[in-house]
Chains A and B, each alone.
Chain A
Amino acid sequence: MSRKAMTGNGAIAIALKQVEPDVMSAYPITPQTEIAQNYAQFVADGAVKTEYIAVESEHSAMSAAIGSAAAGARTITATSSQGFALMWEMLFIAASLRLPITMPVITRALSGPINIHCDHSDSMGGRDCGWVQLYGEDAQEGYDNAIQAFRIAEHMDVRLPVMTMIDGFIISGAIGPLDVLEDEQVKQFVGPYKAIHPLLDVDNPVTVGAFDSLGGWYFEHKVTQNMAMAKAMDVIGGVGREYGQLTGREYSHFKTHHIEDAEIVLVAIGSAAGNVKTMVDKLRDHDVKVGMMKVRTFRPFPAAQIAAALSGAKIIGVMDRSDSFGALGGPLFMEIRSAMFELGARPQIYNFIYGLGGRDIFPDDIEGAVRLLEKAAAGEKITQKRYYLNVREVSLDGQA
């Protein structure tokens, strides 16, 4: 293991290089990230034997990945933002064909207005497309998740595509420390690829992507996808423990900090979890009984485990980097709130939307959220559930 100074993009490109899959298909132009660019360089330099397919759109990138995986090759792609949106149709097909494609996603805003910066609208919008979703806080977690993704996707109980997220620019473009495994360690951890019913096995011909009419098995396919998701829950945990034995960095579905005696708990996902943790440590120095949870596995959503972990909290603040227009709150808020419904004594749950379109989230913003939650903890009646952090005042009549 060696430590390097790397961007988040660079870290993930190295992880992919160390796995050295058979095929990468990618759209090499904006909104693509440096992951695809770096990997193309590895191919050009002869550092990997991967076949690199440069395609004309993200829709084609996912289509080519599906074709390649169905043919029997270990296949990757990478995307971000509008590219993710353009893949939309094919994401569902990759999942329903049970193809273990892995894809790092650099989370960025969706237009409009045109905006290239960080938020989670892209990946959160794709939360119901049937892919396993793992979110990382920093470049190290991006690297670690990108490696574990292969084991999870290719596990015989799962065979689902896996996307691993890190925050656009904030992590993808920032340089931080990265502990890199030896190539051999990564190859050994991931193991050889096993294709199921590959199209190129001409002695055992199969049909992939056939029409399935009213009397067909579409519904049953969907049920088995969900069964595989349930299986993925344990597999993600097992792979995370095994990765911990190899690296000393164990991964589970979520991480908590100072949660045991906390009255107030903030729940975050992505890089903001680090900001929250830093603020929790500061407030703890001032005897505020606050703790935090960082969510890693979003699909499948570990509802029962999260509810158990949060059961001691009086007040919960859920932080979302994307909004769900017209819904009760952001995607993470709705999952957490729904998970907590099973509890006998339910905590009060508030939603803090932050960081849309790359708007920064400062320590003061998080402290402000905690101060509001303290009022609720003190018994003050607060009816408003959804708040926006670090936002300018606006109104529908156009008056800012």
Chain B
Amino acid sequence: MQQVTEIRWHARGGQGAVTAAKMTAEVALSQDKYFQAFPEYGPERSGAPIVAFTRISDEPIQIYSAIEHPDYVLVLDPTLLDTVDVTAGTGEGAVVIINSEEKAAALAARPEMAGKSVYTVPATRIALETIKRAIPNTPLIGALAKVSGIFPLEGVLDEVKTSLGKKFSDEVVNANLDAVRRGFEEVSGQ
């Protein structure tokens, strides 16, 4: 069987989870990997819990069902921890990266996190300080690159430069690059 890295994103509508799943796919493309990115389809309501998925592999991916047992779970909004079962379907050693000001150890103590590798990154603060908007997706992609090693930081930065560079000013692009870089640097955990 082919080795596929499976990622599930938890967020609220408007926090950029679908964009993050898509951007991660674009990074995978730039690294000559195969990929898939898709949201859980349904009505999109700002603020409501949503889920998106990314698969990454060195070989073509030919499975199209929703991800049941993700290797990585990224939580864009820490308030979801009390309302959504973010570790559903995850196995022993699955990695959970949470946008939070708290220390990873504090969240790792939650019962559902038993046996998981928990990391936190203050992604909303980073977003507010860099891109000046509370959209925590780009710092989380930086954190994912650091924790997973599935692609290098430089690969993410190059992709952000290319994709945002087409539409936005240097100022916006640089702010996003800072957000990715700081996510990479400031993520911490077990």
Give A residues with C-beta under 8 Å from B.
3-5, 117, 137-138, 167, 169-171, 173-177, 271-272, 274-275, 277-278, 281-282, 285, 358, 360-363
Known: A117-B41, A175-B35, A176-B36. A170 touches B64 (CB 8 A): yes
Specify which chain B residues have a CB less than 8 angstroms from the CB of A173 in the assembled complex.
38-39, 41
The contact of A177 among B1, B21, B35, B39, by CB within 8 Å, is: B35
Q: Mark B90-132, 1 if CB is under 8 A from A, else 0.
A: 0000000000000000000000000000000000000000000
List the one stretch of B22-30, B73-81, B149-157 in contact with chain A: B22-30
24 A-B residue contacts at CB 8 Å?
A3-B29, A5-B22, A5-B29, A170-B38, A170-B64, A173-B38, A173-B41, A175-B21, A175-B22, A175-B38, A176-B37, A176-B61, A177-B29, A177-B60, A271-B64, A274-B64, A275-B62, A275-B65, A278-B1, A285-B1, A362-B65, A362-B66, A362-B68, A363-B63
Specify which chain A residues have a CB less than 8 angstroms from the CB of B29 in the assembled complex.
3-5, 177
A interface secondary structure, majority: mixed
Cβ-defined contact, B35 with A274, below 8 A: no
Known: A275-B62, A277-B62, A278-B62. A174 touches B68 (CB 8 A): no
Known: A177-B35, A362-B68. A169 touches B63 (CB 8 A): no
Give B residues with C-beta under 8 Å from A.
1-2, 21-22, 25-26, 29, 34-39, 41, 60-66, 68
Specify which chain B residues have a CB less than 8 angstroms from the CB of A358 in the assembled complex.
41
Known: A171-B64, A271-B64, A282-B1. A5 touches B25 (CB 8 A): yes
CA distance A275 to B63 in the complex (A): 5
The 8 closest A-B pairs by CB, nearest first: A274-B62, A174-B38, A175-B37, A271-B64, A278-B63, A169-B41, A5-B29, A360-B65
Cβ-defined contact, A360 with B66, below 8 A: yes
Specify which chain A residues have a CB less than 8 angstroms from the CB of B61 in the assembled complex.
176
Smallest Cβ-Cβ distance to B41: which chain A residue: A169
Known: A5-B22, A271-B64. A174 touches B1 (CB 8 A): no
Specify which chain A residues have a CB less than 8 angstroms from the CB of B26 in the assembled complex.
5
Cβ-defined contact, A175 with B25, below 8 A: yes
Specify which chain A residues have a CB less than 8 angstroms from the CB of B2 in the assembled complex.
278, 281
Smallest Cβ-Cβ distance to A272: which chain B residue: B64
